[in-house]
Structure 1
Amino acid sequence: MTRRWLITGCSTGLGRALAEAVAASGQHVLATARRPETLEELRDRYPRTLATCALDIRDPDDCHNAVHAALARYGGVDVLVNNAGVGHFGAVEEVTDAELEAQLAVNLVAPWRLTRMVLPLMRAQGFGDIVMVSSTAGRMAHPGLGAYAAAKFALEGMVETLALELAGSGVHAMAVEPGVFATEWGASLTESEPVPAYHRTVEPMRAGFRALKSLPIASPPERFASELLRLIAAEERPVRTPVGEDAWTTLLDAAQRDYTALLNTRPVPAAV
């Protein structure tokens, strides 16, 4: 089946790998980024299957324009992948209102908005997939990642709710939970002003997040892309699914987490 995809955050990392994989498979994709010039090479390589569009997901007008660009180019949207996101590092006390609002605006409000815009189209055609790129941090928190985890935990609650609301409609909602991938996510974290009182519990994590890309367990972005293509092609779509070399182990650890022991030991860097 040739599906029509709309993917956010395609300039680098997981989004770019996915956009390329979709285009290479012969399906149609509208690849979006804040700076669409970063996508020119992909567009030139796949002129028949890949189109590009400027999209700052924080801007409602940009979101509206991207959906209409997909309609104009392909006549509809069969798969929406809310991939664009940003991370922030800081202890809960360190994170300001503005920093928290920025995390929620990108990682929760924007995907909710785009979903709301696309759902009428999918319900009218009787099929479609809404994919939220969450994180293992959507089910397992780490010191210093409270704002990001708060947004991803909320996003997963939204997905589960939406999946129940769409039952029987032919439209599916799914959260994919990447573990550690070889992208620039860790190196691109914004940071709060440190409070010395949290140095012992938060500081050990800082270097760990910065080095995520180089960890032996870091999976290539192409693995994420191939796994998502497989999930969308399957007859049964899970509401949540971990993706990546470490993701299942990380979430199993989360389910068995002993907070009593953790609160009496010094934390070490862990995978996102």
Structure 2
Amino acid sequence: MTKRWLITGCSSGLGLALAARLAAEGEQVVATARRSETLDGLVARHPGNVVAAALDVRDPEQCTAAVERAVDAFGGVDVLVNNAAYGQFGTFEEVSDAELAAQFDTNVFGPWRLTRAVLPVWRAQQRGHAVFVSSVAGMVPFPGLAAYTASKFAVEGAAESLAAEAGHLGVKVTILQPGGFATGYSANLVMPEHRIADYVPVNDGMLGALRGMNTKAEINSPELFADVVWRLGQMDAPPLRLPIGPDSEAFLESAYDARRSEYDQVIKAGHHTVS
């Protein structure tokens, strides 16, 4: 059965690879980007299957318009993929209020407002699938990425809440947790305006690792992401969480083990009780 997809952040990277894969499979796709002209080639290659829409997820009116575009073009939305995001670099002390607010406006408030805009369509359809592109950073903290990590933790909490609230309406929710992908992520990192020399040992190591992602032969390709999400869309009972990439699985397994061990130690020591 052909499905109708609305995808954010399709100008490059994971979003572009996913939109192209879905169109090649005969799916109906509303591909969005802040500058819709960047999608002209994708639309030209897949006439009839892909329509483009300008969407900055920070803009509530554009979020509403993107959903209306999907309804007008294809009659509704079956799967929403909240993919648009960016990384704010910097340690906790270095990131300003304005930089933190901007990070959350795109990475957290954007998916929230777009999903809120599509929920009336899903209530009317009595079905829908909200896909939130998180990260291993949604469960594993990385030094030098405090704001980005916090935003992904927040996305996962919001997505889990949506699953609890809207499941009875036929709404499914999946949190994607990709590892490192060759997407140009590091090139789009926003650096903090004010740097603090004491954090150089943390920042330099993390920044070097991020900038090296696109040059490593073993890094995950956007096509892997597209293949996994395409198959996810065909599932009758999709999982709530889905790691993507062997590096993601390794990071998350270690995180789960560490949290379980810490929890067990706290409970055994009785620190959770008041004596």
Q: How does the TM-score come out when normalised to structure 1?
A: 0.92
Indicate if the aligned counterparts of 1:218 and 1:245 stay in contact, CA closer than 8 A. Answer: no
SS in 2 for 1:51: strand
Q: How much has 1:203 moved relative to structure 2?
A: 2.1
Match of 1:64 in 2: 64
Match of 1:243 in 2: 244
Cα shift readout 1:12-65 (whole Å, capped 9, x = no counterpart) = 000000001111111100000011111111100000100001111111111111
Match of 1:143 in 2: 143
Unaligned runs of 5+ residues in structure 1 are 259-272
Is 199-208 or 85-94 further displaced after alignment?
199-208
Q: What RMSD over aligned residues (CA atoms) do the two structures have, in Å? A: 1.2
Cα shift readout 1:203-224 (whole Å, capped 9, x = no counterpart) = 2111111111222431110110
The 2-side partners of 1:45 and 1:208 are apart by 35
Match of 1:234 in 2: 235
The 1-side partners of 2:66 and 2:54 are apart by 7
Match of 1:156 in 2: 156
The 2-side partners of 1:167 and 1:221 are apart by 30
Paired AA for residue 194 in structure 1: R
Indicate if the aligned counterparts of 1:187 and 1:211 stay in contact, CA closer than 8 A. Answer: no
Unaligned runs of 5+ residues in structure 2 are 260-275
Is 91-100 or 247-256 further displaced after alignment?
247-256
Q: How much has 1:253 moved relative to structure 2?
A: 1.9
Paired AA for residue 177 in structure 1: Q
Match of 2:172 in 1: 172
Select the structure that is richer in helix.
Answer: 2
Is 215-224 or 156-165 further displaced after alignment?
215-224
Match of 1:84 in 2: 84
Does residue 75 (structure 1) correspond to residue 104 (structure 2)? The answer is: no
Match of 1:128 in 2: 128
The 1-side partners of 2:134 and 2:118 are apart by 19
Match of 2:205 in 1: 204
Match of 1:252 in 2: 253
Q: How much has 1:135 moved relative to structure 2?
A: 0.5
Does residue 222 (structure 1) correspond to residue 207 (structure 2)? The answer is: no
Paired AA for residue 246 in structure 1: D
Match of 1:98 in 2: 98
Paired AA for residue 207 in structure 1: G
Paired AA for residue 166 in structure 2: L
Q: How much has 1:256 moved relative to structure 2?
A: 3.3
Is 185-194 or 87-96 further displaced after alignment?
185-194
Does residue 22 (structure 1) correspond to residue 22 (structure 2)? The answer is: yes
Q: How much has 1:257 moved relative to structure 2?
A: 4.1
The 2-side partners of 1:154 and 1:108 are apart by 7
The 2-side partners of 1:166 and 1:214 are apart by 42
Match of 1:270 in 2: none
SS in 2 for 1:88: coil
SS in 2 for 1:62: helix
**Identical columns (%):** 48
The 1-side partners of 2:208 and 2:257 are apart by 25
Q: How much has 1:168 moved relative to structure 2?
A: 2.8
Cα shift readout 1:59-98 (whole Å, capped 9, x = no counterpart) = 1111111111111111111111110001011000000001
Does residue 3 (structure 1) correspond to residue 41 (structure 2)? The answer is: no
The 1-side partners of 2:148 and 2:70 are apart by 29
Match of 1:267 in 2: none
Q: How much has 1:143 moved relative to structure 2?
A: 0.6
The 2-side partners of 1:201 and 1:254 are apart by 20
The 2-side partners of 1:28 and 1:161 are apart by 28
Indicate if the aligned counterparts of 1:89 and 1:191 stay in contact, CA closer than 8 A. Answer: yes
Q: How much has 1:255 moved relative to structure 2?
A: 2.2
The 2-side partners of 1:253 and 1:214 are apart by 25
SS in 2 for 1:209: helix
Indicate if the aligned counterparts of 1:180 and 1:217 stay in contact, CA closer than 8 A. Answer: no
Is 37-46 or 205-214 further displaced after alignment?
205-214
Q: How much has 1:202 moved relative to structure 2?
A: 2.6
The 1-side partners of 2:104 and 2:251 are apart by 24
Q: How much has 1:174 moved relative to structure 2?
A: 1.1
Cα shift readout 1:140-198 (whole Å, capped 9, x = no counterpart) = 01110000010100100111111111223211011101101111011210111220111
Indicate if the aligned counterparts of 1:104 and 1:151 stay in contact, CA closer than 8 A. Answer: yes
The 2-side partners of 1:12 and 1:111 are apart by 18
SS in 1 for 2:81: strand
